[in-house]
Amino acid sequence: MRIFKVPIIALLLFISGFTAGSLLKKQFFIEFLGMGSNYLYLIYRPVHQFVRIRYELYSNNKLERLKAYYALYDYNYIDVDFLAERYRLEDSHLNKRTIVWILGNAPDRDKVKRFINKEFEPAERDVQLEMLGVLNRMGQGVLRDFIQERHIPKALYRIILGN
């Protein structure tokens, strides 16, 4: 009977560790990228790529920040709230367009729609076009409703629709 206890205990420890890691992974990653604290170094040693992304996100060089946004996309870490905050902090139109494009691939479409609703008016025209493109990829009904609600001129959304 004692022989069976060791594998069961080991299995329970493995399952509990795996579950805890799965649940806390996203929160730790966002906390780490947000430069909130460095206590994560005490828990684990992050891989080199995440350290690089963290410092590129807060770089003064807009191309370094652009690389970091694409790296987040490549690693499939598309957090709408985090990217929306980065959008508001960003001063480069190219980087803003990239953030909008990345948000178009986010699984939480309702958050993305709320973000676009809030940021559409103050955005530059090229960023607005990207936002309309994101809404178009969500479905014709989504774009049509947005256009009717905002009274957007036909010339602007025809560029997206290709008509």
pLDDT in tens, 11-37: 788 888 778 777 766 666 666 666 555
Q: What span, in angstroms and rounded, lies between the C-alpha atoms of 36 and 39?
A: 9
pLDDT in the model for residue 51? 76
**pLDDT tier at 100, thresholds 50, 70, 90:** very high
Q: What is the mean pLDDT of residues 105-131?
A: 91
pLDDT in tens, 52-91: 888 899 899 999 999 999 998 988 888 899 999 999 999 9
pLDDT in tens, 38-54: 555 555 555 667 778 88
Ranges of each domain in the chain: 1-46, 62-161
List Cβ neighbours of 56 (8 Å cut-off, separation of 6 or more). 64, 65, 67, 68, 71
What are the backbone angles phi and psi of residue 51, rounded to the nearest 5°? Answer: -65, -45
Q: Would you list the DSSP string of 76-93?
A: T---HHHHHHHHHH---H
pLDDT in the model for residue 67? 94
Residues 67, 98 contacting (CB under 8 angstroms)? no
Q: What span, in angstroms and rounded, lies between the C-alpha atoms of 1 and 128?
A: 68
